[in-house]
Amino acid sequence: MNLESLALIIYFAAMLAIGIVMFVKSKNESDKDYFLGGRSMGPWVTAMSAQASDMSAWLLMGLPGSILAFGLGQAWIGIGLAIGTAANWILIARRLRKFSKAANDSITLPQYLSNRFATSSKLLQVICAVVFLIFFTVYVASSFVAGTSVFTTIFNIDETPAMLIFAAILIIYTFLGGFRAVCWTDFFQGMLMLIAILAVPIVVFLTQNLDTSVLANDFGGQYPFTTNVFSATPLEIINGLAWGLGYFGMPHILVRFMAIKKPSMVKKSTIVAVVWVVLALFTVALNAYLGRILIGEELLANEQQSLVFIALFRKLFPPFIAGILLSAIIAASMSTADSQLLVASSSFTSDIYKPFLRKNASNREVMWVGRAVVLIIAVIAYFIASSKSQGAQAIMNMVENAWAGFGSSFGPVVILSVFWRRFTYKGAVAGVLAGAITDIVWLMFLKGTGVYEIIPGFIIGTIAAVVVTLLDKQPSKEVTAIYDAATSNEVDD
């Protein structure tokens, strides 16, 4: 066993240890503890786990690979995500924490969207839960694919055992430890990701002689590189910035806001989260630029630009340190997949199982059903990820649109629910359905326009929610009382 592999094994052992510790401590806890950490998360853990669960392997593979190949004009998605992150924390985080508590102590986003309007109808709750199960299963499958590609490169093993090992580690600590385990593992993984990203430019500037003239090599016109961020077309810039809208509807990020211990802690979390994301995205772009200079020819000749960080770690650091830094790429996949597994599981148990299948289920029963759902979703995701059929590839391609789907469906409704006292349940249902349908229709029939589907989806979803609310009767006193309680400045529980 080499030192690089040893470092990775130590990392995996640490993740499993966190899951086991949290399982031992959770024997007398409720379903709220398993799925929401008992609303006890501190500001640092909340911020770091939110950002780690947000930035999947895309941060260390997709984005730098695209910039390395074509230049800084590819960075507009990153800019949009940075703006969206800041807006989500500043505008939504504190208010959603207070609203979810005031709305009958809701522990899932679908549950909140029903309790916010004090309705006995479970229609919206069920629609949301089903959407979560479908899209998050596909999301988890994509994380399996990304994690497997890193495993096969690092350990030089076949895809099947690589995927099984990756899935097993992820399932065990999520299955055992629940939300606390996911948040704490994501906290450490977020720190590791940032350290790895920052380490590269520091070492490069201290040890390497950079020849920027190599940037002019366009490899026969196949990979023309530009250092001008405005080299992108106006439509590419607009589409990139529009990615930021997705944050307002991302369940695995919004649930972090609901779990923080006190609303007053959100301010510190906001600072940590925004600094993290700006540092990470800027430095990833810088690393891609440096990677083009140092190893671009080697990577592009073999169409391996997405492996730029793996190549840089191995080139610049001794094996054991490289192994630790390589763990950051695995962390990027795990920190997203674990959150998605848990959110999908909590939605099923809280929004379908207990309300419809087992109304008198005990907290312990709900927790174990949730654990079983984690396992089931992971198994389905494994088969989707490991299948080589054309159908499986079509499913995997849906992942690229899931961000827009969540943002279009839930983004407008979440914003209106925490800012508009007049907002009604029928308006929320209309907003979710209109946003989702517009997104799907645009994707199927109007993708050729080049406009990212989240733009029309978000706009139409907002219009539908507002118009139906205005046509609907005024909300009841019970509904406005929830709004008033959540917006009170006197409460900080």
Averaged pLDDT of the chain: 86
Q: What is the pLDDT of residue 393?
A: 47
User: Of 175 and 358, which is predicted with more confidence?
Assistant: 358
Helix (H, G, I), strand (E, B) or coil at 171: helix
Look up residue 225 and give its DSSP letter.
-
* pLDDT tier, 34 (very low <50, low <70, confident <90, very high otherwise): low
Average pLDDT over residues 330-350: 79
Report d(CA 50, CA 7) in Å as an integer. Answer: 25
Which two tokens mark 80?
């949009």
122, 46 contact by CB (below 8 A): no
SS (H, E, C) 72-138: HHHHHHHHHHHHHHHHHHHHHHHHHHHHHHHCCCCCCHHHHHHHCCCCCCCHHHHHHHHHHHHHHHH
pLDDT over 70 percentage in the chain: 91
Dihedral sign, Cα of residue 212, residue 55, residue 401, residue 388: positive
> What would the pLDDT profile of 167-190 be if each residue is shown by its tens digit?
888 888 777 766 676 777 778 878
DSSP of 270-317: HHHHHHHHHHHHHHHHHHHHHHHHHHHHHHHHTT-GGGHHHHHHHHHS
Which two tokens mark 404?
């827009």
77, 86 contact by CB (below 8 A): no
Q: What is the pLDDT of residue 120?
A: 85
Q: Which of 214-223, 230-239, 456-465 has the highest mean pLDDT?
A: 456-465
Please give the single-letter amino acid code of residue 196: A
Q: What is the pLDDT of residue 35?
A: 57
Consecutive H or E run containing 130: helix 123-155
Q: What is the pLDDT of residue 394?
A: 45
Report d(CA 186, CA 410) in Å as an integer. Answer: 24
Report d(CA 403, CA 450) in Å as an integer. Answer: 17
Report d(CA 296, CA 276) in Å as an integer. Answer: 27
Each domain of the chain, given as residue ranges in start order, spans 3-388
- Measured torsion, CA atoms of residues 29, 31, 37, 38, in degrees rounded to the nearest 10: -70
> What would the pLDDT profile of 393-439 be if each residue is shown by its tens digit?
444 456 677 889 899 999 999 999 999 999 999 999 999 999 999 99
Q: What is the pLDDT of residue 219?
A: 87
Helix (H, G, I), strand (E, B) or coil at 320: helix
Q: What is the pLDDT of residue 396?
A: 46
The dihedrals phi and psi of 226, each to the nearest 5 degrees, come to: -125, 140
Q: What is the pLDDT of residue 92?
A: 97
Average pLDDT over residues 272-295: 94
Cα–Cα nearest to 441, from 468, 413, 401: 401
Report d(CA 398, CA 99) in Å as an integer. Answer: 32
Q: What is the pLDDT of residue 192?
A: 86
Which two tokens mark 246?
């997705």
Domain 3-388 matching CATH 1.20.1730.10: the answer reads: yes
Which two tokens mark 368?
């174990």
Whether the predicted pLDDT of 358 surpasses 90:
no
DSSP of 432-467: HHHHHHHHHHHHHHSGGG---THHHHHHHHHHHHHH
